[in-house]
Structure 1
Amino acid sequence: MADTHGTTVPIRVEALRNLAAEHPVRALIQRHGYLDFGLEALLPPTWFLLGTPMDQSFGWGAVGSVKFLDYYFKTQVSVTYDLLADLQARGIHHIPINKYMPYGTKLYDAIHVFVEKYVAAYYKSDQAVADDHELQSWASDCARVPQFKDFPAKITKRNRLVKLLTHLIYLEGVKHHAMNGATTWSAIALPYSTAALWKPMPTRKGEKIDLIEYTVPLNKMALAAGLAAVFIRPVPANQSWMGVYDTAPFTSESELQPAIAELKTKLQHIDEFIEEQESGQAWPYKMLRPSKLPYYGWI
């Protein structure tokens, strides 16, 4: 929530305030923030009040979850904390069997190459970026949002804009779904239960533990299952990454068509790669297949 909605929702608000409807940066943000709004109205009554299903089924409860979010916003969230920085910080960039590393990096690279060509289509030089007053107003206002540590108050280079947009699109269209959606339902079971931590974690190696003591008590399991089931949302084919830019204004810009076609080809290859890699697994991980992955974030 902090890494995705807490970042992407305010950025979209500032885009609506500062960028014209025809602005290319706003077009990208709107496309990938399709259903990512209303968080501040939805969360208190359904998540963060005493007695809600989350309060009863999460080990931390509502109060502990709010405290954690506050801590995480203040100490961890940064727009410079992209996929590569995230992998290194978690120590999984050298673990090739980690699903998120090989699949996530392929998706990130495909998005990055597309965004490079997208930005180049609208900004022919660094000076063109610096002279875009709407873009600079958007950056300036985003930089004032308290949780946006390291957001540039000015964007004067094309490569800086590319890096920022790649990160934002990845948050909405990939990272969110690696933690939410179908993943939420799949992760309800031990040892991956999000609602676990009903007792403190061990403080030293070799301690004998009973995993059942950490997870949701049996008398709360119906609440936990019901909460997780809310996130099972099958993705229509026209809302997956395979058709992400098959609509105006992207189809109206002739210079973008080669980049869109190249992205589709890469996504198809990634989809086939993941399918092949997971074909022999007892529990295949298909959450990041582009054909199953929404291109937008949701609440």
Structure 2
Amino acid sequence: MKKIFWYKRTTMSDYVAEHWKEDDFYGYQFLNAVNPNVIKRCTVLPRNFPVTEEMVKPFLEKGSSLKSEMKKGNIFLCDKKKMDGIPPRTYNGETLHVTGGFCLFYMNPNNKLMPIAIQLHQQPSEENPIFLPSDTETDWLLAKMFFKSADVIDHEAVHHLMNTHFLAEVYILATVRSFPVIHPLYKLLFPHFRYTLHINTTGRTALLGPGGPLNISSLGTDGVIELMRRALSELTYSTFCLPENIAARGLESIPNFYYRDDGLKLWNIINSFVKAIVEYYYPSDREVCKDTELQEWICEIFTHGFLGNKASGFPACFHAVKDVVKFITMVIFSMTAQHAAVNNGQFDYHFWAPNGTLLLHKPPPTTKGQSSMKTIMETLPNVGETVTFAAMVRLLSEQYSDMVVLGAYPEERFDEPAPKQMIKEFQAELSYLSEAIAKRNSELEIPYTYLDPSQIENSVAT
């Protein structure tokens, strides 16, 4: 594996290859790697995840208990139930395996997020034991690998492809169909559409077509599409609005969560800019209500993007200026910052296949004490599959030579002095944030760079 793309390495990909087995690094990735939107604070264990006090007591602070740590807000959960029951693909006549289970985490007194219990399937049974850090090294490693593989599939299919790429396509088509080019919201949004339709059109074939990385994943193309279908039916507006997302998951105060810290600052900067532009062109709610092109735009997005699902909370029409501001903030954030957060670190974290791969060959362990390093090697993808996945994350992590960064408006579509000044102020705020992030990162063992505005593309372009 170290010989694959030996000429394309990063400091972080080397770090991952060195530290992937460590529990504290495993936990860290659920906060600051490429899928930071899946854990939540846990105050009550799911009934089908019967972790006992005795199981996890050795991994908690001395004298503490699971119940008391839950009360303190130090226990977190990742639940992959939406993957449960999706038929995986067959490989050489045998059915592969995808584990839609649970992982329980503990934020220890050293502010390190540690995995303390993993159940690989939703329904507990003798053949679905709860794995613990005190199990044999290879048992615990296999449990972490199977859970992480499910997370990688979830990340690539849902959090990356669907939530940024494919929904961006909805926003783009609605914009070009509903707004004339002289509409101020067209001028505001259009710079964020660069290359997206092209990359989506080619990406669907390259990723989901025969021999593509998602086609040869454990779920296969049909399973990945079913996963996206399930995820779309569960989507909520608040999930896409970062301040609400963080609050709903109870992660406002969890330490060392740089995605949250940088993301909320970016959300606020984008929101202030959008608010200034929208309020300039829509001085009152009345202007919003009578703009038929704006109403057609949001109706088309609600109908074709979110399939008219009123329970999702996505708006079907706009009644107030603040509603327009919030929705456009969400659109721009999703197509810039959120895409960068879930895309730009893929080579760093997933080039090293044992740390997270779309495919595992052997079935997950059903009893403890039966595994060895030979089991792990037989479970990992073969050379050809590893190369395919490595090529995918390399390509997706590349930057264009003509990259346009967040906040740049090279085409200067706005003519009025006021919007031009708002753009300058927006760019200045992004520059200040970039400097602050660089300063913070200089003091970290693992720098978090993915939401540095100077590294964020202005559109979903890769």
Query: Structure 1 length normalisation: TM-score?
Result: 0.85
C-alpha distance in structure 2 between counterparts of 1:84 and 1:200, whole Å = 39
Equivalent residue in structure 1 for 2:322, among 147, 159, 164: 159
Which residue identity does 1:95 align to in structure 2? Answer: I
TM-fit CA distance, 1:4: 1.2
Task: Pick the structure with greater CA Rg.
Answer: 2
Q: Which residue of 1 aligns with 2:345?
A: 183
Change (3 A) 1:52 1:161: same
TM-fit CA distance, 1:289: 1.0
- Structure 1, unaligned runs of 5 or more: none
C-alpha distance in structure 2 between counterparts of 1:95 and 1:213, whole Å = 37
Q: Deviations over 1:257-295 (max 9, x none)?
A: 332222122111110111111113344221211111111
TM-fit CA distance, 1:90: 4.3
- Structure 2, unaligned runs of 5 or more: 1-160
Identity level (%): 24
Change (3 A) 1:143 1:4: same
C-alpha distance in structure 1 between counterparts of 2:272 and 2:359, whole Å = 39
Equivalent residue in structure 2 for 1:221, among 382, 386, 392: 386
**TM alignment of 1:36-55, pairs within 5 A:** 36-38=196-198, 41-55=201-215
TM-fit CA distance, 1:80: 6.3
**TM alignment of 1:179-218, pairs within 5 A:** 179-180=342-343, 182-188=344-350, 189=352, 193=356, 195=358, 216-218=381-383
Q: Which residue of 1 aligns with 2:456?
A: 293
Query: Structure 2 length normalisation: TM-score?
Result: 0.57
CA RMSD of aligned residues (A): 3.1
C-alpha distance in structure 2 between counterparts of 1:209 and 1:109, whole Å = 49
Equivalent residue in structure 2 for 1:18, among 169, 172, 178: 178
**TM alignment of 1:1-299, pairs within 5 A:** 1-38=161-198, 41-56=201-216, 58-76=217-235, 78=237, 81-145=240-304, 147=306, 149=309, 150-180=313-343, 182-188=344-350, 189=352, 193=356, 195=358, 216-234=381-399, 239-241=404-406, 243-250=407-414, 252-299=415-462
TM-fit CA distance, 1:127: 0.7
Q: Deviations over 1:197-219 (max 9, x none)?
A: 6677899xxxx998777754455
Change (3 A) 1:49 1:274: same
Which residue identity does 1:87 align to in structure 2? Answer: I
SS at match of 2:163: coil
Aligned residues: 295
Change (3 A) 1:212 1:174: farther
Q: Check conservation: 1:143, 1:152, Cα contact below 8 A.
A: yes
Structure with the largest fraction of strand? 2
Which residue identity does 1:18 align to in structure 2? Answer: S
Q: Deviations over 1:71-96 (max 9, x none)?
A: 11112254763112332344433223
Q: Which residue of 1 aligns with 2:108?
A: none
Which residue identity does 1:166 align to in structure 2? Answer: T
